[in-house]
Structure 1
């Protein structure tokens, strides 16, 4: 499942480290070309018509490109189906900056059969919400609260982080958008807001896409906020990528990520337990867009 630029020894090393298995060099050579076709088929397979929730997230991967090792973004879309089970919709290695790239991804999802996404959770990148709504105009675009908190903590010294996190919690756990804004203003006027003014600026910049979060009942908020599924996935991907250093080309990166993702997907037999309560709320909030499926 690797590009020709990777040696048999490196492939064997990855397989042993990831899965504790050892395979012969002849077998690895035989499967490499076949998997190229498998990856393409998987990336172009038909998708379901409706996904109540899709998380779009990225990891950074070093890939050799035109003689230079570049730090490229690899985007993963994790969809939650109406029954609560998870599915990786695809992997995309960013070739162009910003909105044009994301618009291409959205159009690709639509061409593969996706007619509606109820909530898209994104990492706050400029142009991403507009690209989503250009193709799926009814989709609620929600900034990932976990990413926003992480971004906030980048401004904070290590010794202060344990104190700042509870102060931020008052914002995103507020009962509604009005109370959330009041909590943000109180944070801004308080000790931590004065010490780290960049935090408030970041929340204000993203507020338009934080607000939708407050309209949902607690059970739905918990699903949106608790990104355990994609966090666990990213952890596996980063571990696999870290052992590689850098990839000789995009295909090599794509194949390793495909291998790890498909191995992870084997464990996804049941929906998260929070989904049973959230499902009822989705049906109330979105009506026929959810229950007609």
Structure 2
């Protein structure tokens, strides 16, 4: 140790205030020295007879270790630029771009990135610079919405819309971002498309669904969604023959919205929970009708809503039992929308539609990568999905009685706990 100190080695090492060696700064200095040495060697090789070096020009380069100063050799004749070390039109190396892209996608605002970069000794990193650095995300967004799906079928499709604030035409507007998740024959799920829709209408939904069809989304047997305006009509026209499953979670919320009394709301919730806890299709249908009657006694309009929604709320019963849990709700979309909201929350209002599309697209691409190797549904059960015909035979009296007991017991249990 004394020998090292005599040579001044320790004196040249960077120390923190607490006396420990700043390893990051030591590596940054080493990188800077190495880069400059390489450039000197390269310039010497270029300089032949009749040409000489003519000083240096300095240029700063952002790296994952921090900012380094490059002393680029100047030549009396010709030019030298270290293309292997730095791209001509960017002072930010690929690793740095990757990091900024990652934190941007993870929901860190550009101003927060600037603060984080300063703390990490990345040097000056302004919001405008971060925005330029993340512009290459546009390529990934375009790839997501341009990907073709020839050669495979997607039996099931989940659709939804979420709303984000975006500045457009001089003021902040709420923009609907529509997304589509599909389950392929291999049992995996993926986002197959997204778009910004000014209004939720049959026209906008048809345009979106047609874009999916054009890129090869076919073989759709069932589409799951909430009761969005114009969507049911669009599904019927674009995916002819496909069933529409109305999300039962959203249906339950719509029913609950008709009640002001807490007790009545609890009764309705218990009745519907009892319905969807059953497995046998006939029993589910009988229980649904029993629940509709009980709820109608409390609120006629709520009962009418359930009566009108029966065929669509129970569409999942016509598909294989193992698929029921996935098909009867739009939970897969709800979770994805939650991730979009979480990651975009720090932005507040997007400065443009383009910036909103860029970040949302990057989030969806990230989610797709997470889903890539995860089995969502059993592949073997998806190979020949066939929608069975709804059993229109009268439901036997014993099943109707069983359904009545099922719903009544659930309601009484809820009221008993409430009491």
Using the alignment, how far apart are the partners of 1:85 and 1:175 within structure 2? 25
Of residues 293, 299, 323, the one that matches 1:220 is 323
Give yes or no for the alignment of 1:285 onto 2:285.
no
1:135–1:175: structure 2 CA closer, same or farther, 3 Å change rule? same
Q: CA deviation at 1:16?
A: 9.8
In the other structure, the counterpart of 2:146 is 44
Which whole-Å deviations, capped at 9, do the CAs of 1:44-98 have from their partners, x for residues lacking one? 2212441111110121212223233222221111111111111101111112441
Give yes or no for the alignment of 1:107 onto 2:206.
no
TM-score (norm 1): 0.79
Of residues 89, 105, 126, the one that matches 2:229 is 126
Which whole-Å deviations, capped at 9, do the CAs of 1:95-124 have from their partners, x for residues lacking one? 244100111011101111223212111111
Using the alignment, how far apart are the partners of 1:271 and 1:181 within structure 2? 30
Using the alignment, how far apart are the partners of 2:243 and 2:337 within structure 1? 24
Of residues 347, 364, 369, the one that matches 1:261 is 364
Of residues 137, 152, 163, the one that matches 2:240 is 137
Q: Which structure exhibits the higher relative contact order, with contacts defined as CA atoms closer than 8 Å and separated by 6 or more residues?
A: 1
Number of residue pairs matched? 274
Is the CA contact 1:53–1:81 (under 8 Å) kept in the aligned structure 2?
Answer: yes
Asked which structure has the greater CA Rg, the reply is 2
Is the CA contact 2:144–2:365 (under 8 Å) kept in the aligned structure 1?
Answer: no
Is the CA contact 1:55–1:120 (under 8 Å) kept in the aligned structure 2?
Answer: yes
In the other structure, the counterpart of 1:34 is 136
Which whole-Å deviations, capped at 9, do the CAs of 1:121-163 have from their partners, x for residues lacking one? 1111232122122122121221122221222233345844554
Of residues 166, 188, 198, the one that matches 2:270 is 166
Is the CA contact 2:246–2:329 (under 8 Å) kept in the aligned structure 1?
Answer: no
TM-score (norm 2): 0.57
Q: CA deviation at 1:213?
A: 1.8
Gapped runs of 5+ residues in structure 2? 1-99, 102-107, 389-419
Is the CA contact 2:164–2:174 (under 8 Å) kept in the aligned structure 1?
Answer: yes
Is the CA contact 2:157–2:183 (under 8 Å) kept in the aligned structure 1?
Answer: yes
Using the alignment, how far apart are the partners of 1:167 and 1:127 within structure 2? 29
Give runs of aligned pairs for residues 3-18 of structure 1, distance below 5 A: 10-11=109-110, 13=112
Give yes or no for the alignment of 1:235 onto 2:338.
yes
Give yes or no for the alignment of 1:183 onto 2:284.
no
1:145–1:15: structure 2 CA closer, same or farther, 3 Å change rule? farther
In the other structure, the counterpart of 1:57 is 160
Using the alignment, how far apart are the partners of 2:113 and 2:161 within structure 1? 22
Q: For 1:235, what is the secondary structure of its paired residue?
A: helix
Q: CA deviation at 1:227?
A: 4.4
1:205–1:33: structure 2 CA closer, same or farther, 3 Å change rule? same
In the other structure, the counterpart of 1:5 is none
Using the alignment, how far apart are the partners of 1:196 and 1:14 within structure 2? 52
Using the alignment, how far apart are the partners of 2:113 and 2:285 within structure 1? 48
1:22–1:68: structure 2 CA closer, same or farther, 3 Å change rule? farther
Q: For 2:191, what is the secondary structure of its paired residue?
A: strand
